[in-house]
Amino acid sequence: MIADPVARIRRFNRAVTLEVGALDTSFLGRGRPLGAARVLNAIGQGLGDVGEIRDALQLDSGLMSRLLRGLEEEKLVVTEPRPDDARRRVARLTSAGRREFAAYERLSNQRAAGLLARHPHADELLAAMDLVASALGRERIAIEEVDPRGEAARHCLAEYYAELARRFEKGFDVSLSRDPQAKDMVHPRGAFLVAMSDGLPLACVGLKGDGGETAEVKRLWVAPSARGLGLGRKLMAAVEERARALGIRMLRLDTNRALPEARALYLKSGWTEIPRFNDDPYADFFFEKRVCAARDA
């Protein structure tokens, strides 16, 4: 009873409400109501269109308008009609606005850093926070196609290689593996997909093509804090879809015996085991799947 799951969630809610409540009122620490601070923050994050901000913050149009007027009176923001459609207006920060936005950012960062400094095992705390945030925000996870040399992809790949090094019996050295060139994983030969959750990349998969009708699926990885959310399955479906759009007819992949959950996923989602098709020292199992085929035929 005392460890009743529901009671534990409610304890979590109380703990977090206290902490996050303090965070909200810290916005008031700069003498501006929360609503105005939120709008300033949204503009600082890069939102410009008034309608966009309104949607993002779920504000009534009247309220939005007034908050914007207030920020204009403070000379933190200027608005102007959009050249291509003069009904819409775009807002941007003045230099004073940028200073003020930076001050809010600093405050938030200080609070977060303070929390970390107070906790002796910051790594575990962060991992737990990631897990909770991913679970709570699972409806807001979006699959995006990104540049495999960009920040999000590099983050995923670094975590992926580190995990292989931990899990493979003999460790993992990326230079021994058949490392695909990044240019084989960008349009129009291939693609690189990541699952983004509020700015944090949680999972990735690469599609490596050579311009022909066959391509290879590589680098499937899901962050430990996001396992169980079905991201592997979603990414595999997305990469198949992407391959179909690129005119690819046959997909292949290889995997290692130290990754049983990956093999289970492939078996479960329509892949067929085939004989070895390369000499990668880390590859133990080989699969293929035809795309563009009639469904369930």
Partner DNA sequence: GCCATTATCTGACCTAAGTCAGATAATCAT
Partner DNA sequence: ATGATTATCTGACTTAGGTCAGATAATGGC
Binding residues for its own copies (CB under 8 A): 1-3, 5-20, 23-24, 108-109, 112-113, 115-116, 118-122, 124-138, 151-152, 155, 197-201, 227-230
Q: Does 145 bind DNA (CB under 7 A)?
A: no
Cβ proximity to DNA: between 35 and 270 the closer is 35
Task: Assess contact for 53 and 43: CB atoms under 8 A.
Answer: yes
Cβ proximity to DNA: between 82 and 167 the closer is 82
Task: Return the structure tokens found at 87.
Answer: 């009904």
Q: Does 89 bind DNA (CB under 7 A)?
A: yes
Cβ proximity to DNA: between 51 and 247 the closer is 51
Q: Does 227 bind DNA (CB under 7 A)?
A: no
> What Å distances lie between residue 162 and 127, 159, 170, 173, 244, CA to CA?
16, 5, 13, 10, 31
Q: Does 54 bind DNA (CB under 7 A)?
A: yes
Partner from DNA, its own copies, none binding residue 151, C-beta < 5-8 Å depending on class: its own copies
Q: Does 66 bind DNA (CB under 7 A)?
A: yes
Q: Does 92 bind DNA (CB under 7 A)?
A: no
Q: Does 1 bind DNA (CB under 7 A)?
A: no
Partner from DNA, its own copies, none binding residue 65, C-beta < 5-8 Å depending on class: DNA
Neighbours of 195 (CB within 10 A): 26
Partner from its own copies, DNA, none binding residue 138, C-beta < 5-8 Å depending on class: its own copies
Closest CA to 266 of 278, 276, 254: 254
Cβ proximity to its own copies: between 9 and 292 the closer is 9
Q: Does 40 bind DNA (CB under 7 A)?
A: no
- Residues contributing to the site for DNA (CB under 7 A): 33-36, 49-51, 54, 59-66, 68-69, 79, 81, 84-89
